[in-house]
């Protein structure tokens, strides 16, 4: 009887406990950010070939999606430019025209 309640509690518990266990992360200080940057630079210099190969492989894997995303951004920007009102020339009535004289 007790084992059954424990089993059901464990089935429900992971989602609840993981939410409770998650801590709110504080933003990193400037010193911490700089330390991370330095560590990343050192790692990059020591493993440059591996990092570039992994980046290239990831790009080749996602190339079509990346190109589609960039095309969409380009189309949005192009469409926004077309929608902007261009400098329209407002025709001022010529004082010698018949309509101007009649109005």
List the helix and strand counts (H, then E) for the chain. Answer: 5, 0
- How many beta carbons lie within 10 A of that of residue 84, not counting itself? 6
Provide mean pLDDT across the span 7-30: 67
pTM over 0.85: no
Q: How far apart are CA 12 and CA 18, in angstroms?
A: 11
pLDDT at position 31, please?
96
Q: Hey, how many other C-beta atoms are within 10 angstroms of the C-beta on 51?
A: 14
Query: How far is Cα 31 from Cα 39, in angstroms, rounded to an integer?
Result: 12
Q: Identify the pLDDT of residue 86.
A: 58
**Looking at per-residue confidence, does 47 or 3 come out higher?**
47
Give the start-to-end residue ranges of the domains of the chain: 27-81
Q: Which two tokens stand for residue 59?
A: 């790009």
Q: Each residue of 23-82: pLDDT tens digit?
A: 788 999 999 999 999 999 999 999 999 999 999 998 888 899 889 999 999 999 998 888
């Amino acid at each position: 009887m007790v084992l059954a309640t424990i089993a059901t509690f464990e089935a429900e518990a992971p989602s609840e406990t993981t939410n409770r266990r998650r801590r709110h992360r504080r933003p990193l200080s400037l010193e911490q950010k700089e330390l991370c940057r330095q560590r990343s630079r050192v790692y990059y210099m020591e493993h440059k070939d591996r990092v570039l190969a992994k980046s290239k492989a990831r790009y080749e894997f996602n190339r079509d999606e990346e190109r589609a995303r960039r095309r969409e951004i380009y189309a949005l920007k192009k469409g926004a430019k077309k929608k902007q009102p261009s400098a329209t020339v407002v025709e001022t009535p010529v004082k010698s025209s018949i309509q101007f004289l009649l109005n």
